[in-house]
Amino acid sequence: MTFFLAVSILFLDQLTKFIITKTLSLNQSIPIIKGVFHLTLIHNRGAAFGILKNQIPLFISTSIVAIILIYFHLKSPQHRKFSIYSISLSLILAGGIGNFIDRAFFGYVIDFLDFRVWPVFNVADSAITVGAILLGWSICFQKSVK
């Protein structure tokens, strides 16, 4: 079940990026809710918030390691059950793969969700963020996440 979640999020991430790149030109912005939420196509050559720009080999290598570790961890028998912990890792896995695909094929991450008070991001970034929050919660408040 957790792999279905990861594949679904990955598909949504790649589909939205494909649609945005076919609809908008670089740095073009379309207001959805004027001044609050826009669709703005940018190419992020860094990590979160654009830090460490142009460090593609670093991002690709760390992504590969993280993806492999999370995949094998989720594949282990004790984590095949559906839990907050496995959901969190599935979200992080999907987001990591989504942004890895961008970096590997384009040399940058396609970002487009623009709330004007936060750096522009994408579905993969959202999955990683929600996954990290759920992971922290599950580690702090669940009895066992072995």
Q: Which helix (H) or strand (E) holds 32?
A: strand 29-33
Q: Poorest-confidence range of 41-55, 85-99, 100-114? A: 41-55
37-44 sheet: strands from edge to edge: 29-33, 37-44, 109-114
Question: What average pLDDT does this structure show over 78-89?
Answer: 82
Indicate if the pLDDT at residue 5 is higher than 90. Answer: yes
Q: Taking Cα atoms as reference points, which of 17, 31, 14 lies closest to residue 112?
A: 17
Indicate if the pLDDT at residue 146 is higher than 60. Answer: no
Q: Poorest-confidence range of 5-14, 57-66, 96-105, 115-124? A: 57-66
Question: What's the pLDDT at 86?
Answer: 92
Indicate if the pLDDT at residue 82 is higher than 80. Answer: no
Residue 4 tokens read as: 């279905």
Q: In the chain, where are the structural domains located?
A: 2-141
pTM, 2 dp = 0.88
Give the catalytic positions in this structure.
111, 125
Question: What average pLDDT does this structure show over 119-123?
Answer: 96
d(CA 113, CA 7): 21
Q: Taking Cα atoms as reference points, which of 127, 102, 125 lies closest to residue 114?
A: 125
